[in-house]
Amino acid sequence: MQKLLLISVITFTSCLSQTQEQAPDILPGAYQLESYLPLIKDKKVGLTVNHSSLIGTKHLTDTLQSQQINIVKVFTPEHGFTGTLSDGEKVEYDSSEASFELVSLYGKNKKPTEAQLANIEVMIFDIQDVGARFYTYISTMHYVMEACAENDIQVIILDRPNPNGSYVDGPVLDTAYRSFVGMHPIPIIHGMTVGELAQMINSEGWLANGIKVDLSVIKIKNWSHSQIYSLPVNPSPNLPNDLSISLYPSLCLFEGTIMSVGRGTEHPFQQIGHPEYPDTMHYFIPTPNEGAKWPPYEDQKCFGRSWVGQSPQYSFSLQPLIKAYQQMGKDDFFNDYFKRLAGTNLLQKQIEEGQTEAQIRQSWEPALLEFKLSRKKYLLYE
């Protein structure tokens, strides 16, 4: 485990030094040791974790091992255990470096197999989410819950604040467009923590064949949905600060277009651009880096729009997308991935037809209202 933990500590230290210090009274579920250690004592434990699974600056694996908890296997989501791998990059581990087996749940192996779950009696899920439907950590959580339900394994969610948890917005997913970047009939910004969403997934029968998992949620202390939460560690390589996290729900839709969102620069998800964008006041040049090995338009000058230096914007807007479409004026502006990100085929049609944001919002309001009413049953933090 030495090599992995060394990488992790370096990552944690650099991230902590770059982010705003948190109020000490907001304590994620992982901090509530007294609530979950009795549930896992003398049991064979599996963990679904990554670099964000921290108690202070110490990783959850280290904390549990110091408490003589028997960790038999660790599962990791997209971006790997250290959270540094590029989007779409294959995750491979040499388990001889660790005191337990490491298994990637990204790529072809998204759902734990029966063999991979053998000898596990309880599974802990502790990963920092950002509250957007297409952020794949919640899809990994779904498959972990489903596999554990099928194998009679208890799941414990160590809950963490949702930095975009103060509002709910966007079109609700049409299940005809269900994919790994959108598995549930929820809006783009669902306004729930992973613990709240896990309860909804379980109770609404969204797991395969309506199966239910034995689920426990260890709550956050001293946090509510109205509180803005600055993450103490970058949740993934291309969300480096509060501004990118707040813009992510709006700007991620550009990943289904010909535009770049600034991958391969110092400001991903804080700017958009394209080599042929007509407004040339702002530009950036993508180059490969740790979190973006294959950035779109590598080494090309991309003109566009920047939000760098602005305050975080905790709201969802279609205006950047509508404006970029109108300015580019290209028939191939959207690609097939856009429908999966949007969770519907209607949004692209509406933008192409020239509808305003207000008109588009009216079309998704009934389903959004229905979701909000259903969501209330699962909220743990008023």
Packing angle, helices 319-328 and 242-251, rounded to 10: 60
Whether residue 3 is predicted with pLDDT greater than 60 in this model: the reply is no
pLDDT digits (tens, 9 = 90+) for 277-287: 999 999 999 99
pLDDT digits (tens, 9 = 90+) for 164-207: 999 999 999 999 999 999 999 999 999 999 999 999 999 999 99
CB atoms within 10 A of CB 90: 11
pLDDT bin (cut points 50, 70, 90) of residue 16 is very low
Q: Residues 6 or more apart from 131 whose CB is under 8 A from it?
A: 162, 163, 164, 165, 189, 190, 191, 192, 249
Q: Residues 6 or more apart from 206 whose CB is under 8 A from it?
A: 142, 183, 184, 185, 200
The amino acid occupying position 61 is T
Residue 98 or 310, more confident: 310
**pLDDT value at residue 197:** 98
pLDDT bin (cut points 50, 70, 90) of residue 13 is very low
Which DSSP string do the residues of 285-316 spell out, in sequence order? Answer: ----BTTBSS-TTTTS-EEEEE-TTSPP--S-
Longest dimension (CA), the chain: 63
Residue 199 — φ and ψ, nearest 5°? -65, -40
Alpha-carbon dihedral 125, 164, 338, 268, rounded to 10 degrees: -90
Helix or strand holding residue 361 (H, E): helix 357-375
Whether residue 267 is predicted with pLDDT greater than 80 in this model: the reply is yes
State the chain's mean pLDDT as an integer: 92
Whether residue 359 is predicted with pLDDT greater than 50 in this model: the reply is yes
Token digits for 171?
């079109």
**How far apart, in whole angstroms, are the C-alpha atoms of residue 219 and residue 29?**
5
Question: Burial code of 249-260, b = ≥16 C-beta within 10 A, e = fewer?
Answer: bbbbbbbbbbbb
**pLDDT value at residue 300:** 98
- Residue 222 near residue 228 (C-beta atoms within 8 A): no
**pLDDT value at residue 94:** 56
**pLDDT value at residue 17:** 38
Look at 88-97, 101-110, 234-243 and tell me which has the smallest mean pLDDT: 88-97
Whether residue 22 is predicted with pLDDT greater than 70 in this model: the reply is no
- Residue 369 near residue 187 (C-beta atoms within 8 A): no
CB atoms within 10 A of CB 27: 17
pLDDT digits (tens, 9 = 90+) for 315-358: 999 999 999 999 999 999 999 999 999 999 999 999 999 999 99
**pLDDT value at residue 93:** 64
Instruction: Please give the average per-residue pLDDT across 140-154, as a whole number.
Output: 98
**How far apart, in whole angstroms, are the C-alpha atoms of residue 379 and residue 225?**
9
Strands (E) in the chain, as ranges, are 44-49, 54-55, 58-59, 70-76, 101-104, 122-126, 154-158, 169-172, 187-189, 215-218, 271-274, 282-284, 302-306
Pairing verdict, β 169-172 and 187-189: antiparallel
**pLDDT value at residue 84:** 75
Whether residue 364 is predicted with pLDDT greater than 70 in this model: the reply is yes
pLDDT bin (cut points 50, 70, 90) of residue 291 is confident
Enumerate domains of the chain plus CATH numbers.
2-231 (3.40.50.12170), 242-344 (no CATH)
pLDDT bin (cut points 50, 70, 90) of residue 7 is very low
Whether residue 15 is predicted with pLDDT greater than 90 in this model: the reply is no
Look at 79-93, 121-135, 285-299 and tell me which has the smallest mean pLDDT: 79-93
The amino acid occupying position 126 is D
**How far apart, in whole angstroms, are the C-alpha atoms of residue 127 and residue 54?**
9
Instruction: Please give the average per-residue pLDDT across 138-164, as a whole number.
Output: 98
CB atoms within 10 A of CB 331: 7
Of all residues in the chain, the percent with pLDDT exceeding 90 is 86
pLDDT digits (tens, 9 = 90+) for 213-240: 999 999 999 999 999 899 999 999 999 9
**pLDDT value at residue 74:** 96
pLDDT bin (cut points 50, 70, 90) of residue 137 is very high
Whether residue 8 is predicted with pLDDT greater than 70 in this model: the reply is no
**pLDDT value at residue 97:** 56
Which DSSP string do the residues of 206-227 spell out, in sequence order? Answer: -SGGG----EEEEPPBS--TTS
**pLDDT value at residue 340:** 98
**pLDDT value at residue 85:** 76
Instruction: Please give the average per-residue pLDDT across 59-67, as a whole number.
Output: 96
pLDDT bin (cut points 50, 70, 90) of residue 374 is very high
CB atoms within 10 A of CB 149: 21
- Residue 254 near residue 319 (C-beta atoms within 8 A): no
Q: Residues 6 or more apart from 164 whose CB is under 8 A from it?
A: 130, 131, 132, 189, 191, 245, 246, 248, 249, 314
Number of residues assigned to the chain: 382
Q: Is 107 left (phi over 0), alpha (psi -120 to 50) or beta?
A: left
